[in-house]
Amino acid sequence: MEKTIKINGREISFTNERNLLEVIRKAGIELPTFCYHSELSVYGACRMCLVEDERGRIMAACSTPPRPGMSIKTHTERLVRQRRVTLELLLANHDRECTSCVKSGSCRLQELARILGIKNIRFGQKKGRLPIDDSSPAIVRDPNKCILCGDCVRMCEEIQGIGVIGFAYRGSEARVTPPFNKNISEVNCVDCGQCAAVCPTGAITVASHMEKVWNALYDPAKTVVAQIAPAVRVSLGEEFGLKPGAVTSGKIIGALKKMGFDMVFDTCFAADLTAVEESHEFLERLSGKKRLPQFTSCCPAWVKYVELNYPDFKDNLSSCRSPQQMFGSVMKGIYAKKLGIDPEEIFVVSIMPCTAKKAEAQREEFSKGGIPDVDAVLTTQEMARMVREAGIIFDEVEEMPFDMPMGFATGGGLIFGGGEGVATAVIRTLGREPVFRTHGEGGQIKTAEIEYDGKIIKTAAVSGLNNAKKLLEAIRAGKEYYDLVEVMACSGGCVGGGGQPQPNTSDARESRKKGLLGSEKLMQLKSPAENPIIKDLYRDHLYSPGSEKAHEMLHTTYRNRKRIDGEICFSEDIKKAGKVSVKVCVGTCCYLSGAYELFSALKEIANEEKFKDRIELSATFCLENCAKSPCVMVDDTIIGKATVEKVIDEVIKRF
Amino acid sequence: MIRTVDELEKNFQELSKMARGYRMRILVCGGTGCIANGSLEIYKKFKEVLRQKGLYTDLELIQEGREGTGVAASGCHGFCEMGPLVRIEPNGFLYVKVKAEDVEDIVESTVIKNEPVMRLLFCDPAEKKHFLREEEIPFYRRQTRLVLKNCGKIDPEDIRDYIACGGYRALAKVLTEMTPEQVCDEILKSKLRGRGGAGFPTGKKWQQVFSQDSDVKYVVCNGDEGDPGAFMDRSVMEGDPHRILEGMMIAGYATGAREGYIYVRAEYPLAVKRLQTAINQAREWGLLGKNILSSNFDFDIHINRGAGAFVCGEGSALTQSIEGFRGMPRPRPPRTVEKGLFGKPTVLNNVETFANVPSIILNGAEWFSSIGTPESPGTKIFALTGNINNTGLIEVPMGITLRQILFEVGGGIKSGKKFKAVQIGGPSGGCLTEEHLDLSMDFDSLEKAGAMIGSGGLVVMDEDACMVEVARFFMDFTQRESCGKCVPCREGTKRMLEILEKIVSGNGTVEDLELLNELAEVVKTGSLCGLGKTAPNPVLTTMKYFKEEYMAHVIDKRCPSKVCRGLARPVINREKCRGCGKCKRICPASAIEGEAKKPHEIDQNRCLRCLACIDACPFDAIREE
């Protein structure tokens, strides 16, 4: 039987809608909300979506399931007044410097104030300002603009499984903050930017590189080179009124050229290169040389997540740099010479759907002699803003092709931008075409099996770090086995990145991915292995996949970044040739027994000439030998009630 | 160890006989109020003096057939105003305001000669006579003590005392004679309503949990009493902890739960300690744990201490807090009975509700519904505080009038002043005035009057109270205690407080009153949880009943009760003023002018209302207006 409810007197049928809000929106009525996101849990805090039933009871539509026979109204006088005052209260407490806010024009608060016709705020401006946290390379937090809708908190916790921000304090002092009011850079934030993607106001925004890029463009001595990530071409149009998925590569290149970029290349080319290197590495691992499964390493948020939370899996990460970094390395290390330009005079700008790429570009592994391989990273949103700032009418921009040689890519490189793309391209390079199917409960993991060299290779692809966490735990527990695992930190892969245009809904992500797959169909070459430019690159410079030169230019290493508290990092891979590892326990017991002083004393000794480069000193967490604290571990031997003398004696024995 | 119902019965018989075996028993009140006034020293002194005189006997010795005098620290007697209290059994003497020095006298006269110490008996100021026994004192006369029956009469740290009073017999009854459905039915029939404030039928709640299909269910006891001036739950937890445990176990049996949690504020260390002792003893005696009384019923109880957030008294915030999260309410549905603690069906009742359960089971639903009013049967415990003679804890039948509570039990307003209002239900409740004195105190009548029983705090105010200031005080409390989740409560209460502060400081306008009213409606209708929905009640009721006081503040810039400093206006009486100039010299704002030896004048626009001039005037010529 058909189930119906009455909305404003009209019968509306419903099926499996979870709440009244969904039914109301289905009926073509727009109810304002701040804290409702179909992908996140229902929070019910903004109190904007209130509705009234026939008995005059008021309830939040987002948290009320529809019941057949209900009769509700959405815009009674009482409700409208309720919403207006609620909004007025929010505005009163909000930083009202709208004109100079990055979010101006796309701010939900601003939009609703306009829609609800707020003309006057009868309450005084909030007193006192909280400091802005710009410690992160990816995001900037301005608590003065926060309306406490909790979207970022739930995104970080529920979808990404990280939970580095939460609520603190009570009443009107309540705020969203990392634990103990630390800066976001001091906690396990992976820079994915999904918090910024859901923030309705300017409270969390993306750290901007726009000024850096303008300065480079204005500098006549610089050769400014752009690379465009696959996911950008199917989403940038949204900023200019096009539907998600509309492919605008030609216009983007045209616009960049108008802005003064000297060369515009395609990150898909570098993605082809990544696929070739990564598939080579995969074959090495399959032959038993290194650990399986191999995890993809294109997503910097995922890489940082592993380094921070699962250091025991860091050797499973492919040592391949991401396409962005391969591009930077090849650009400055090989093509600069070809073009006869000093690498220092080349300014590489990546246009990415991603905020974590900003952090990745700043990793020390990716610069040579103080010159980063990638100088600036613009998100899709920043790119659109720059187009507007430059006075370019996007609609009228004449389309242009990518510059050669690094503008040529295969279909494999292009699909890096959507979920399962990397794994597909890697397998494709091996001459097989995987077919991914959803697997397990909720369909969060996609898997494919292919036959290769008489063996069955199992691959999995997952997006959203919380899903990745579940998969990692299953792998660690031996419940699941895979040979190749692709992980993308953001739901849906790069098309759903933290720097993409808003709203970044699942529908938008789907359409963007469709756009990518659609244009892949038009490409003559599908397998990265067939890319002729890459073949030339190996022939002329890199010799072969996995060669020493390729390793130097295209691969990287990872660190254990698991923290004890902010500053101290401990590392498990200390045992290097010729060095004695000395680990000082700084667990609570040892700390209280003077481990820190011991550590400082040992540090001085380790720096002395005769021990220099022979002692690898580090602090470690509890060695579980508290009764004999302080404890020090010299290689595999634990020294209880350690003193400097005891430790040094033990070290000398090993020389 | 009690393994069967028969063993429990045997223990009950023996222990109650033993309790009678004392020739005399001295119960020193060990409630928080009396402890603060030194009752523990009195308790020690009694033991010491009795030992010296060879009169002291403990329960173990009585077991061997000896008689003597016992001393125990009991739970709260409720008459906190008169503490420390000492009760003598079996003759029922109640000594008030006892000091350690009085112990020798009590032992000499009462214990040895069985004569009362007259000076320590309660003397009623109105009736000008001494009362020998607790039951005769007007404060107790009007009370019906069901939940507090044992409070003050047993040692809460000794399970044997509880068993001697018939403890755990209700549990035995449900385990052997009743099915879970029957228990739910019995509670439903009794019409017991939740004592936490909302008054939801307890039996209905239990039935709903019972009907949930889930292998794990929980019983949660809400002991997060956070209203300023309320201490009902604390006294029950401190004075008769086993009664709560028994109530929870019965709820567990009736609903299919096997685990219970008691959520107590960490600020109630004594309650935590006594509950923990009770749980440990119940476990030792086999009354908690596996296969209780050989009935195959397993039940265990844990204590969770709350960190003192008022909002954690709200059901969903409370369960969040137990789960280890920040205590923030979540929207309903799903309700706690469907998805409560750890996402499982949960019975969440208040301390007092659980404490009512054992008597209902033992005496039947009919007996219970014969007390109180038809729709709100039973009794209610109130914490009586403020400007009233007998502050303390009272338990009265529902339906009693406010007049009876204030003037009969409470002994009238302090210092013979005039009654003005009473704030009922703490910061979530409203104020009641003279016109409500004959209002029946039950859930429905109070709700109609715009107030609520709430947890049962009664703050009495006399003619000197400024109702605007009272509203400001409660608003200050709720806006601090708002969890900050939903906009109306977080921002609305803050702005309401701002307006109230503006009014009491003398800067309010009529428009402010309109805005205040509008905000109150928005916060009341729009808030997510009970805290926000009820937060405007003090403002709304004071604005309704004391509109003229608000108007006096904003229009005449005058506080009729002379409470609001910001509105106090010093005025010089021209006839008394000799023009000495002392006021002029002390005034920090140079607001006083006048020639020497001629009457001075205060420029009200410049005056800071510090009132320093009043004290400075040697001729008493300046008065506050």
Query: What are the residue ranges of helices labelled H in B53-196?
Result: 59-63, 102-106, 113, 138-141, 159-164, 169-177, 180-190
Tokens 């940038």, located at residue:
A236
pLDDT at B565: 79
H, E, C per residue of A373-394 = CCCEEEEHHHHHHHHHHCCCCH
Indicate if A595 and A525 belong to the same structural domain. Answer: no
Residue in A85, A90, A93 closest to B519 by CB: A85
Residue A117: alpha-carbon gap to chain centroid: 37
Query: What SS3 class is residue B592?
Result: strand
- Residue A87 to chain B, least CA–CA distance (Å): 9
Q: Residue A538 domain-assigned?
A: yes
Count of helices and strands (H, E) across chain A: 22, 24
Indicate if A312 and A457 belong to the same structural domain. Answer: yes
pLDDT exceeds cutoff 80 at B251 = yes
Indicate if B448 and B521 belong to the same structural domain. Answer: no
Residue A168: enclosing H or E segment and its boundaries? Answer: strand A166-168
Q: Residue B579 domain-assigned?
A: yes
How many Å is the maximal CA-CA distance in chain A? 88
- What percent of chain B has pLDDT above 90? 62
Q: How confident is the model at residue A94 (pLDDT cuts 50, 70, 90)?
A: very high
Indicate if A195 and A344 belong to the same structural domain. Answer: no
Q: Residue B526 domain-assigned?
A: yes
Q: What pTM, to 2 d.p., does this model score?
A: 0.86
Q: What are phi and psi of B337, to 5 degrees?
A: -65, -25
Query: What SS3 class is residue B378?
Result: coil
Residue in B332, B481, B487 closest to A171 by CB: B481
Residue in B309, B331, B491 closest to A89 by CB: B491
Q: Which of B314, B217, B302 is nearest to B261 (CA)?
A: B302
- The mean per-residue pLDDT over the stretch A210-224 comes to 96
Q: Residue A154 domain-assigned?
A: yes
User: Measured between alpha carbons, how far is B434 from B422 in angstroms, rounded to an integer?
Assistant: 9
For A13-71, the pLDDT digits (tens) are 999 899 999 999 999 999 999 999 988 999 999 999 999 999 999 999 999 999 999 99
Q: Residue B496 domain-assigned?
A: yes
pLDDT exceeds cutoff 80 at A515 = yes
Q: How confident is the model at residue A566 (pLDDT cuts 50, 70, 90)?
A: very low
Side chain identity, residue B4: T
| Pairing of β A50-53 and β A58-60 | antiparallel
> Among residues A151, A177, A206, which one ends one of the domains?
A206
CB-defined contacts A:B, below 8 A: 104
Query: What are the residue ranges of helices labelled H in A13-156?
Result: 20-26, 77-92, 108-115, 151-154
pLDDT exceeds cutoff 80 at B62 = no
Q: Residue A569 domain-assigned?
A: no
Average pLDDT, chain B: 91
Q: Which of A460, A606, A170, A115 is nearest to B485 (CA)?
A: A170
CATH number at residue B118: 3.40.30.10
- Residue B440 to chain A, least CA–CA distance (Å): 27
- The mean per-residue pLDDT over the stretch B102-108 comes to 90
Query: What SS3 class is residue A326?
Result: helix
Q: How confident is the model at residue A384 (pLDDT cuts 50, 70, 90)?
A: very high
For A252-265, the pLDDT digits (tens) are 999 999 999 999 99
Residue A319 annotated to the active site: no
Q: Residue B3 domain-assigned?
A: no
Indicate if B218 and B339 belong to the same structural domain. Answer: yes
CATH number at residue A41: 3.10.20.740
Q: Residue B5 domain-assigned?
A: no
pLDDT exceeds cutoff 80 at B273 = yes
For B209-220, the pLDDT digits (tens) are 999 999 999 999
pLDDT at A615: 84
* Residue pair B558/B551 in contact by the 8 Å Cβ criterion: no
Indicate if B85 and B202 belong to the same structural domain. Answer: no
The pair of structure tokens assigned to A127 is: 């007193």
- The mean per-residue pLDDT over the stretch A424-434 comes to 93
> Among residues B447, B462, B477, which one ends one of the domains?
B462
Q: Residue B10 domain-assigned?
A: no
User: Measured between alpha carbons, how far is B179 from A251 in angstroms, rounded to an integer?
Assistant: 76
Beta-carbon separation of A45 and B515 below 8 A: no
Q: Residue B6 domain-assigned?
A: no
Side chain identity, residue B276: Q
Contacts of B492 in chain A (CB under 8 A): 85-86, 89
Q: Which of A230, A208, A219 is nearest to A260 (CA)?
A: A219
For B460-513, the pLDDT digits (tens) are 999 999 999 999 999 999 999 999 999 999 999 999 999 999 999 989 999 999
Indicate if A250 and A202 belong to the same structural domain. Answer: no
pLDDT exceeds cutoff 70 at B533 = yes
Indicate if A150 and A36 belong to the same structural domain. Answer: no
Beta-carbon separation of A47 and B482 below 8 A: no
Q: How confident is the model at residue A441 (pLDDT cuts 50, 70, 90)?
A: low
Residue A631 annotated to the active site: no
Q: Residue A567 domain-assigned?
A: no
Residue in B486, B492, B493 closest to A45 by CB: B486
> Domain range holding A607?
580-654
pLDDT at B61: 61
Q: Which residues pair with A634 in a beta bridge?
A: A582, A637
pLDDT at B230: 85
User: Would you say how long chain A is, in residues?
Assistant: 655
Q: Is the peptide bond before A293 cis (omega within 30 degrees of 0)?
A: yes
B/e letters for B25-37, b = 16+ CB within 10 Å, e = fewer, are bbbbbbbbbbbeb
Query: What are the residue ranges of helices labelled H in B384-509?
Result: 402-403, 443-448, 467-481, 487, 493-504
- The mean per-residue pLDDT over the stretch B33-40 comes to 90
pLDDT exceeds cutoff 90 at B92 = no
Indicate if B229 and B351 belong to the same structural domain. Answer: yes
Indicate if A302 and A357 belong to the same structural domain. Answer: yes
Residue A278 annotated to the active site: yes
User: Measured between alpha carbons, how far is B263 from B193 in angstroms, rounded to an integer?
Assistant: 20
pLDDT at B357: 96
Indicate if B19 and B132 belong to the same structural domain. Answer: yes
pLDDT exceeds cutoff 50 at B536 = yes
CATH number at residue A237: 3.40.50.1780
pLDDT at B525: 94
Indicate if B260 and B335 belong to the same structural domain. Answer: yes
CATH number at residue A607: 3.40.30.10
Q: Residue B147 domain-assigned?
A: no
List, as one string, the DSSP characters of B159-226: HHHHHHTTTTHHHHHHHHH--HHHHHHHHHHHT-B-TTTT--BHHHHHHHHHTS--S--EEEEEE---
For B138-154, the pLDDT digits (tens) are 888 889 999 999 988 88
Indicate if A383 and A483 belong to the same structural domain. Answer: yes
pLDDT exceeds cutoff 80 at A93 = yes
C-alpha distance across the termini of chain A, in Å: 83
Q: How confident is the model at residue A564 (pLDDT cuts 50, 70, 90)?
A: low
User: Measured between alpha carbons, how far is A649 from A637 in angstroms, rounded to an integer?
Assistant: 12
Beta-carbon separation of A63 and B333 below 8 A: yes
Contacts of B493 in chain A (CB under 8 A): 171-172
Q: Which residues pair with B329 in a beta bridge?
A: none
Indicate if B214 and B137 belong to the same structural domain. Answer: no
For A62-76, the pLDDT digits (tens) are 999 999 999 999 999
Indicate if B574 and B597 belong to the same structural domain. Answer: yes
Catalytic residue from among A235, A279, A318, A319: A318
Q: What are phi and psi of B515, to 5 degrees?
A: -65, -40
pLDDT exceeds cutoff 50 at A571 = no
Residue A618: enclosing H or E segment and its boundaries? Answer: strand A615-620
- The mean per-residue pLDDT over the stretch B349-377 comes to 95
Out of B80-84, B189-193, B292-296, which region has the weakest mean confidence (pLDDT)? B80-84
Domains in chain A: how many in total? 4
Where in B328-401 does DSSP place strands (E)?
346-350, 379-386, 392-397
pLDDT at B453: 82
Quote the radius of gyration of chain B (alpha carbons, Å).
28
- Residue A503 to chain B, least CA–CA distance (Å): 23
For A328-372, the pLDDT digits (tens) are 999 999 999 989 999 999 999 999 999 999 999 999 999 988 899
Indicate if A108 and A199 belong to the same structural domain. Answer: yes
Indicate if A195 and A227 belong to the same structural domain. Answer: no
Domains in chain B: how many in total? 5
B/e letters for A613-628, b = 16+ CB within 10 Å, e = fewer, are eebbbbbbbbbebbeb
Indicate if B268 and B339 belong to the same structural domain. Answer: yes
pLDDT exceeds cutoff 50 at A570 = no
User: Measured between alpha carbons, how far is A263 from A348 in angstroms, rounded to an integer?
Assistant: 10
H, E, C per residue of A104-137 = CCCCHHHHHHHHCCCCCCCCCCCCCCCCCECCCC
> Among residues A172, A206, A240, which one ends one of the domains?
A206
Indicate if A261 and A352 belong to the same structural domain. Answer: yes
Residue A645 annotated to the active site: no
> Among residues A206, A241, A276, which one ends one of the domains?
A206
**Could you tell me the strand order of the sheet in which B218-223 lies?**
B289-292, B297-306, B259-265, B218-223, B346-350
Residue A473, number of CB atoms within 10 A of its CB: 12
Beta-carbon separation of B498 and A90 below 8 A: no
Indicate if B336 and B222 belong to the same structural domain. Answer: yes
- Residue B429 to chain A, least CA–CA distance (Å): 19
Whole-number Cα distances in Å, B560 to B469, B476, B553:
11, 22, 8
Cα-based angle A198, A203, A204 (whole degrees, multiple of 5): 55
Q: Which of A94, A99, A103, A130 is nearest to A206 (CA)?
A: A103
Q: Residue A564 domain-assigned?
A: no
**Could you tell me the strand order of the sheet in which A223-228 lies?**
A263-266, A223-228, A346-352, A376-379
CATH number at residue B613: 3.30.70.20
pLDDT at A523: 92
Q: Residue A399 domain-assigned?
A: yes
Indicate if A160 and A202 belong to the same structural domain. Answer: yes
Indicate if A198 and A275 belong to the same structural domain. Answer: no
Indicate if B300 and B429 belong to the same structural domain. Answer: no
> What is the complex's ipTM, to 2 decimals?
0.87
User: Measured between alpha carbons, how far is B450 from B27 in angstroms, rounded to an integer?
Assistant: 41
Residue in A58, A122, A167 closest to B484 by CB: A167
> Domain range holding B108?
15-141
Q: What are phi and psi of B300, to 5 degrees?
A: -135, 155
Q: Residue A85 domain-assigned?
A: no
Q: Residue A630 domain-assigned?
A: yes
User: Measured between alpha carbons, how far is B322 from B342 in angstroms, rounded to an integer?
Assistant: 9
Out of A403-412, A583-592, B145-154, B243-252, which region has the weakest mean confidence (pLDDT)? A583-592
CATH number at residue B442: 3.10.20.600
Instruction: Locate the chain B residue with the closest alpha carbon to A18.
Output: B333
* Residue pair A414/A516 in contact by the 8 Å Cβ criterion: yes
pLDDT exceeds cutoff 60 at A572 = no
Beta-carbon separation of B331 and A122 below 8 A: no
Average pLDDT, chain A: 91
Indicate if B169 and B193 belong to the same structural domain. Answer: yes
- The mean per-residue pLDDT over the stretch A113-118 comes to 94
- Residue A104 to chain B, least CA–CA distance (Å): 22
Q: Is A114 exposed, middle or buried (0-12, 13-18, 19+ CB in 10 A)?
A: exposed
CATH number at residue A113: 3.30.70.20
Where in A420-512 does DSSP place strands (E)?
437-439, 445-452, 455-463, 484-488
Contacts of A86 in chain B (CB under 8 A): 487-488, 491-492, 522, 526
- The mean per-residue pLDDT over the stretch A186-209 comes to 95
For A467-486, the pLDDT digits (tens) are 999 999 999 999 989 999 99
